[in-house]
Chains A and B, each alone.
Chain A
Amino acid sequence: MNFNQNFFEIFQLTPSFDLNLDVLGERYQTLQRRVHPDRFVGQGAQAERLATQWATQINEAYRTLSDGLSRAIYLLSMDSIELEENPTLSGAFLMEQIDLREDLEAAELSGEASVVLKFMNRLKNHMAEAEICFQKAHTDGAFEEALQVVYRMQFLKKLMLSARAAEDKLLGY
């Protein structure tokens, strides 16, 4: 298997944050249709093993590219930019974190699932905004700025998970 191919190359797509997810989904299916182990049943251990390797790689590529945050991280890694474990963050971003956390707490305390839902919709808007920022910074080659946006996206995603957990609880799951 050609492991040197990057995830975009697998789907024959131009590396870019701005990806047509419908095209990605279609190509994912087209590829899986060819390489999935189901297509190689009874053709020997060798064929099934190769098919499993390819299907695994295609699943991993699809999973990485179909999600905004992991796609952003992957794009940066293609330019050898890795996330730091304890990055220096701007004061404004830290303030935003505190505010949003407090808002989530207040939503939880309200005891109303609908209030948490409203908060989640707000987070979604923030995320969409961040994705636009990333797209621009990445296209401009402003990698340091793009990296800062990724940290923000990471935070938003984590907070979204907490909000979902809070909503779960309020809905009684």
Chain B
Amino acid sequence: MALIQITEPGQALDPHQRKRAAGIDLGTTNSLIASVREGKAQTLDDDLGQTLLPSVVHYAHDGIKVGATAMSSATIDPMNTIASAKRLMGRGLADLTQTESAGQYAFVEGTQGMVQLQTAVGPVSPVQVSSEILKSLALRGEASLGGRLDGVVITVPAYFDDAQRQATRDAAALAGLNVLRLLNEPTAAAVAYGLDSGDEGLTVIFDLGGGTFDVSLLRLSRGVFEVLATGGNASLGGDDFDQRMANLIRSMCPGEVSFDASLSRQLLAVARQCKENLTTETSTSFELVHQNQTLSGLITREAFEAAIDDLVSDTIKAAQRVLRDAQIASHEVAQIVMVGGATRVPLVRAKVEDFFGQAPLSEIDPDRVVALGAALQADVLIGNKPDEDMLLLDVLPLSLGLETMGGLVEKLIARNTPIPVQRAQEFTTFKDGQSAMLIHVLQGEREQVVDCRSLARFELRGIPAMVAGAAKIRVVFQVDADGLLSVTASELGTGVTAAIEVKPSYGLSDEEVTQMLKSSFAHAQEDAEARMLLEARLDAERLIEALSAALAQDGDALLSPIQREELNHGLEVLAKVASGADVGAIKAETEKLSQASDPFAAMRMDQEVRRALAGQALDEVLPTEST
């Protein structure tokens, strides 16, 4: 019997046509973009040779500025210069801490409960701010790679909840980017190291950034990165080290010196410099100028280390906890990867080395490692490396649940569950004749509703009148490979089914994204219509390409001649419509052909699964029956 040849799924149809893919590290303080060129992941610089783009956006009537130029406006026009928007992603006004809301920005309540910032050009959302940063990076990518980006991978912190992930996706949509996948930052770092060295075994990613600490345990085997557990502290980072250093310097200044706003700013900058100096030196001197008076002194590494000792110990404790969650001993860890500028602090390295009994890896710049890993993953996802075996199996970072009686949370999916995942739970009515039920979706580890993050609320209406407890409401949670959630609820008891799809309340509605896209194109003098036609055509072409290839491969084996003819006809119709300019018709025909080919696609997938284990099954699995 002749063997049927099948290509690897994901393989580009024309192997010579390389696609432009990039990885983007959208950071709190700095952002950067990287891409695979000549087989190597590289960060992409701007015209001035700068790699890091400060995550700062300045809004003014004469235009929007991003990065270093925006940063220079910070002192003159602080209200309109937005920094650290990442901290506000997916947040409501009520989520802000007192220090945040007392800060320099004027916060206003936005649509769907999301916080917005009042600027000279009107209120802007953190999603819009992030989209400006993404646009700026995309332009840099286009200039470096010589054309429009076909797809990007954007990294997010592992502890990001659903609302924050959704907001990140929205920002990318607003920037007109095709997001291949949202990737957890620690996983990206592992990819950056793991692919080159081909290491196997358990890897700990120790990510200490400016404001957050994130630790993850991954298992690498045969090209598969499996995230076993994640943990950390969302409010611990290098900024805290700077603060401790500032306190130290302050304590060395004479008591009568009053630290006003300007001196405090100077102090923080000096503190940061001292911290950096102590990475290589064992002592450093500082100098502060205040009212014609110069304050100076000497800081030893020893004194600094004593000042931050408890903070560093906290990071080790979090690492310990993650290992415990996965029931792994510290000596079983094969390698430790350092991510984030704050991991340059010698005490951090020393404590990590002491705890794990081995020196952490640090060959790759800890500021770039995440973007580099994202670039590698983007290259694989876009189909540039058809033979690549790498696969990332990620987990849900925080538990998902529903509100039940008494303000308690019933967890449906526990944290660290591999994604994609689907779970269902049945609930019932509380009162006789109850016709509606409030579904309140929450995320977090605590038991009380008030301690968890509220993701969405919606009502299931039209429950037929029944005595209390007779109705059966089935709620289904589905989390996709990006870690994004959709919830449906339906009443099963009487066969009457009502279902609703929700999007977490802190994201943007699809209409809002469309609206913002339209207005931003108008702003950029770009023809929105032309863009939409282009996208519709691309979708149609993608389907034609994929279905034609599938038919050539499996059409004879899986379909009857009639079925095959139907799909061939559909292909012809779509190809014809796609060459026209009617956006609505192209979309409608694409949808029609997609539906018509659904059963065929499902059959191919089933076949794929059977073939995956073919060959090894009979001999290895059923030894008792075959011998």
Which residues of A approach B to under 8 Å, CB–CB?
1-2, 10-14, 23, 26-27, 29-47, 50-52, 54-56, 59-60, 62-63, 173
Contact = CB atoms under 8 A, between A and B. Distances in A.
B383 interface: yes
Given A34-B9, A34-B611, 6 more contacts: A30-B612, A33-B612, A36-B391, A39-B9, A44-B546, A46-B598
A100 B76 CA distance: 68
Given A12-B617, A33-B224, A47-B601, A42 B421 contact: no
B62 interface: no
Interface string B416-429: 01111110000000
Chain B: interface residue count, which band?
35 or more
A41 B19 CA distance: 13
B480 A173 contact: no
Contacts of B2: none
A41 B382 contact: yes
Contacts of A27: 613
Contacts of A46: 594, 597-598, 601
Contacts of B616: 12
A26 B616 CA distance: 11
Given A2-B606, A42-B180, A56 B621 contact: no
B389 interface: yes
Contacts of B478: 56
A41 B546 contact: no
A54 B419 CA distance: 11
B9 A32 contact: no
Nearest to B378: A41
B10 A37 contact: no
A14 B621 contact: yes
A36 B317 CA distance: 34
Given A40-B10, A42-B383, A52-B481, A30 B605 contact: no
Contacts of B3: none
A20 to B, nearest CB: 9
Given A39-B10, A56-B422, A1 B621 contact: no
Contact of A32 (B178, B393, B624): B393
B609 A42 contact: no
B381 interface: yes
B606 A23 contact: no
B392 interface: yes
Contact of A37 (B221, B421, B481, B539): B481
B38 interface: no
Contacts of B602: 1, 50
A33 B625 CA distance: 29
Contact of A44 (B420, B542, B611, B620): B542
A26 B612 CA distance: 12
Contacts of B180: 41-42
A43 B608 contact: no
Interface in B376-427: 380-383, 389, 391-393, 417-422
Given A14-B624, A38-B181, A32 B151 contact: no
A60 B609 CA distance: 15
A172 B317 CA distance: 9
Contact of A1 (B223, B605, B617): B605
Contacts of B181: 38, 41
Given A38-B381, A42-B180, A52-B481, A32 B601 contact: no
Contacts of A62: 418
A62 B174 CA distance: 38
12 contacts: A13-B621, A14-B622, A14-B624, A29-B222, A29-B391, A30-B612, A33-B223, A35-B609, A41-B382, A44-B539, A44-B594, A62-B418
B321 interface: yes
A8 to B, nearest CB: 10
B543 interface: yes
Interface in B578-607: 594, 597-598, 601-602, 605-606
A158 B181 CA distance: 37
Contacts of B622: 14
A43 B382 CA distance: 10
Contacts of B609: 10, 31, 34-35, 54
B422 A60 contact: yes
Interface in B174-193: 178, 180-181
